[in-house]
Amino acid sequence: MAQVKISDGVLEGEILDNVLGGKYYSFKGVPYAAPPLGDLRFKAPQPVKPWNGIRSATAHGPICCQHDIFFNNVEPGSEDCLYLNVYTPTLKPEKKLPVMFWIHGGGFLSGSGNSQTYGPDFLVNQNVVLVTINYRLEVLGFLCLDTEDVPGNAGMKDQVAALRWVHKNIEHFGGDPSNVTIFGESAGGASVAYHLVSPMTKGLFKRAILQSGQNLSHWSRSFEPRLRAEAVARSLGKYTTDDKELYEFFKSQPIEKLVRIAAPLTVEEEAGIRINLMLAVTDEKQFGDNERYFYGDVFERLSNGIHEGVEVMIGYTTHEGAIQFNFLHEEGTFDKYNKFLQCFVPIELLLQCPVKDQLAIGKRVKEYYFGNKQVSVETVDAFIKYITMQILEYDILQYAKKFVQSNANRLFLYQFDIDSKRNKYAEHFKARPYKKGKCVCHCDDLMYLFNHEDSPVDTNDDSYEMIKNVSKLWTDFAKFGNPAPDGSLGVKWPAFDLEHQKFLVIGNELTVAEFPEREDLEFWEQLHQQYLPKESKFQLN
């Protein structure tokens, strides 16, 4: 056992064996904010009440109540969920260690920071301190009434509270509060992008890694959040538009009624062929002296609101789009794509273009990726390539280009392309009956950063070297602001710039390439320039 005294009291954690050898200190279930119960539901997190005596930190705290749309199961969890976990190779290092602060993905409606999925072994073995967190999800974390009682972004403010806890306490675990790297995947990557521009996070971190996520994609921000909240209320039997009535109604609902809420606003959302995340980050209104987490336009904030001096890594997996099979019905999987051209129109264009333009866009996209062929099992590679670009890759590449155009901060771009038996998510997301051979799916990169309880490490397999390589790239970035500072992995990874657009392909070997997906990117840029003039001034040729 091991004890640490922090600002709120004494914690007793444990010393655990690392699957890669050696040991590490583990402190689980540490409260970073008061339980958001009763009148604190939907509110910004409040300080922890200090405790007397010794608090056990050997078990994870409760996760947030949630419905996991990716695996279609309900996790009972708890509304009392604001807990974090700290893992460190030593409590008393000669020099304070870099800190890596992990934000889990899950579409802002599922997931946790717990070690069953995010085991710390690989990263702490590289001599960093790892912090993982839980935060409020779905209605509890992202409902917005545009009122002082429910201004939105509660889940993001939870993340900020956890970052502030790290800034205040991490030295007690051997960590350096002046050298914190925030990193996250999918919705966690989008969270990182928002933290890069939030006035609440300035000075709380030094570096940032965005894995398969950013805040330009439609799914990263709420569409008509107030109307969405009213739709949620109607789905629960409450028909009103009165602010106070809505607030009291939501506050009084038992937690089990606020999980697995379906509140589509459009016919397209009701059709359910896309990944529709209905609750996310919102443009927050000002109420008195209350802190606003995010406000303004994401494109403008990317151009002029990035925190000064913060270095960034951003990237994507080769077959991100394989996740789409999780949201298609097995029978008649591709029928709607072959019947309706609008299925090929990105949501940000669908919401802003008249039907005539939607049909024209859909026709161009279908012809570009499929020619005269039908969408079918025979064209599944083209389908995955199209979905990959539509839901993530285009926005990630645009983010990188806009970032370096407007900021002096360095940015490193990567494509994750490792293929080994640790790649498990194509099967989880039901893509395997369709996609044969190599598949580097959404979330597969996580298998080389975190120990997963269902995937034991095989030290005799090639994947073991991949784990060591990837964890070194990530932790070297956290230590030095450069993911390959010494060339020890046989490659020098140049910072991304507009002239050469160099990036690292993280495959079974590491290689530097230029101009990622150049032809596809130009195709999508032309569409956005033509049909979204508001964004066109940010487009780069």
Of the candidates 258, 274, 307, which is a domain's last residue? 307
pLDDT at 276: 67
Residues 163 and 237 both lie in one domain: yes
Cβ atoms 55, 93 nearer than 8 A: no
pLDDT at 74: 77
For residue range 108-147, list pLDDT tens digits in order: 999 999 999 999 999 999 999 999 999 999 999 999 999 9
Query: Both tokens of residue 433?
Result: 């009956």
Query: Could you confirm whether 60 is annotated as catalytic?
Result: no
Q: Which of the following is catalytic: 307, 442, 471, 528?
A: 442
Mean pLDDT of the chain: 93
Residue 101 buriedness (CB in 10 A; 0-12 / 13-18 / 19+): buried
Query: Could you confirm whether 329 is annotated as catalytic?
Result: no
For residue range 151-165, list pLDDT tens digits in order: 999 999 999 999 999
Residues 187 and 336 both lie in one domain: no
Residues 341 and 257 both lie in one domain: no
Cβ atoms 264, 271 nearer than 8 A: no
Tell me if 384 is assigned to some domain.
yes
Tell me if 139 is assigned to some domain.
yes
Query: Could you confirm whether 186 is annotated as catalytic?
Result: yes
pLDDT at 271: 65
Residues 285 and 357 both lie in one domain: no
Residues 80 and 159 both lie in one domain: yes
> Mean pLDDT throughout 169-192?
99
pLDDT at 329: 61
Contacts of 12 (CB under 8 A, 6+ apart): 1, 2, 3, 54, 55, 56, 57, 58
The domain tally of the chain equals 2
pLDDT at 269: 72
Examine the pLDDT at 540 and tell me if it is beyond 50: no
Q: Which of the following is catalytic: 26, 112, 115, 186?
A: 186
Q: Which of the following is catalytic: 79, 320, 393, 525?
A: 320
pLDDT band at 536 (very low <50, low <70, confident <90, very high): very low
For residue range 508-533, list pLDDT tens digits in order: 999 999 998 999 999 999 999 999 86
For residue range 70-92, list pLDDT tens digits in order: 766 778 899 999 999 999 999 99
Of the candidates 289, 307, 325, which is a domain's last residue? 307
pLDDT at 537: 38
Residues 303 and 363 both lie in one domain: no
Q: Which of 57-61, 222-226, 345-349, 534-538 has the highest mean pLDDT?
A: 57-61
Instruction: List the domain range (segments joined by +) for residue 294.
Output: 2-307
Cβ atoms 520, 389 nearer than 8 A: yes
Residues 326 and 303 both lie in one domain: no
Of the candidates 283, 307, 331, which is a domain's last residue? 307
Examine the pLDDT at 539 and tell me if it is beyond 90: no
pTM for the whole structure: 0.96
Residues 351 and 260 both lie in one domain: no
CA-wise closest residue to 263 among 67, 397, 58: 67
Residues 219 and 339 both lie in one domain: no
> Mean pLDDT throughout 176-185?
99
> Mean pLDDT throughout 333-339?
87
Residues 417 and 300 both lie in one domain: no
Angle at 315 between CA 157 and CA 322, to 5 degrees: 95
Residues 297 and 321 both lie in one domain: no
**CATH number of the domain within which 249 lies:** 3.40.50.1820
Examine the pLDDT at 534 and tell me if it is beyond 80: no
Beta bridge partners of 209: 183, 313
For residue range 227-275, list pLDDT tens digits in order: 999 999 999 999 999 999 999 999 999 998 998 777 777 777 766 666 6
Tell me if 541 is assigned to some domain.
no
Cβ atoms 222, 107 nearer than 8 A: no
Residues 243 and 325 both lie in one domain: no
